[in-house]
Amino acid sequence: MKFEDIWQENKGFILGLLGGLIVFFTAYAIIDGSKAADVRSNLARVASSERRERGMRLQAGELQGIQRRREELSQDLGRLEKELAFRPAPGFTLTGVTRSPDIHFNETVQRLLVEVVEPAAALDIRIPADLGLGDVTPRTNEEREWYLNGLDVVNRICIAGMAGGVEAIEPIRIARVSKKSRRERNEVDPYLRSLTVSFSARGTPVAIDRLIRGLQIPGQRLVIEKARIQSLDGLAGKQKIFVDESLVVLDLTVKALLLDAEGAPRTPPVGRM
């Protein structure tokens, strides 16, 4: 059979087949071009990311320098914490307490009355029975933790005064806990809580000197914020320089620096009731 005869008999089918092939190859070319464009775009993004990474990459020796500086700062922080930080003594915190925090707080107050106020009275040293709390009644664990830390400071002041031989430590006042939320306080200074206690002490210059020195023990150090010494001798209403064993009054405000190197909100961990 000749080609002309085949063409005449199957012309419609052959033309349809050729048209389908043309459409197929055209569509394939379009799709293939779109994929190629996507590939080129992705390659460009990868190259851009690599350039940014190379720009951010530390130069030789920079990482070691940063690590050395970090170690130096860590050592400085440890030294300052050892010299200045106030570490609450066992019993003057809620950490590890497994019973009622309220009972623990009240028992701590009663313990100080027995272990500090009564022995001081036996030595004829006056210490107020309210221990600087006044009419405070802590309602929350945060408040109980604050005033327990404050009682720790008062305890150390009283022990230093009794050891130094003062005649009286009164009045005493523990600063009230801040009404700001923990988040607001952390926004100001997340790494440090500063607990203030003010008091007056009366005694000889030697006894007052011993009291002050007793507040500067590392780990128990109290930062002196304000101090004023006045002689009780001389004309009424006038101060004078004292050089003998006359009585003087020391008005002192001290701060306990409670550090939190992590800067996290401090929530006393207490056990289940």
- Is 207 among the domain residues? yes
pTM, rounded to two decimals: 0.64
Q: Note the pLDDT of residue 172.
A: 94
pLDDT at 267 > cutoff 80: no
Q: How many domains does the chain have?
A: 1
pLDDT at 167 > cutoff 70: yes
Q: Note the pLDDT of residue 48.
A: 73
- Is 205 among the domain residues? yes
Angle at 153 between CA 148 and CA 154, to 5 degrees: 90
Please name the amino acid found at residue 117. V
Say which residue, 194 or 121, is predicted with more confidence: 121
What CATH number is attached to the domain comprising 159? 3.30.70.60
Q: Note the pLDDT of residue 83.
A: 65
Of these ranges, 30-39, 67-76, 255-264, the one predicted with the greatest mean pLDDT is 67-76
Residue with tokens 């000197």: 209
Token output for 227: 């101090």
pLDDT in tens, 37-89: 665 666 667 667 766 766 666 666 667 777 777 777 777 666 666 666 778 88
- Is 112 among the domain residues? yes
Q: Note the pLDDT of residue 22.
A: 58
Structural domain containing residue 133: 87-259
- Is 96 among the domain residues? yes
- Is 65 among the domain residues? no
- Is 191 among the domain residues? yes
What is the rounded CA–CA span in Å between residue 174 and residue 229?
20
Check if the beta carbon of residue 119 is closer than 8 Å to that of residue 162: yes
What is the rounded CA–CA span in Å between residue 182 and residue 256?
18
Angle between helices 101-112 and 141-164 (to 10 degrees): 10
Average pLDDT over the chain reads: 76
- Is 81 among the domain residues? no
- Is 50 among the domain residues? no
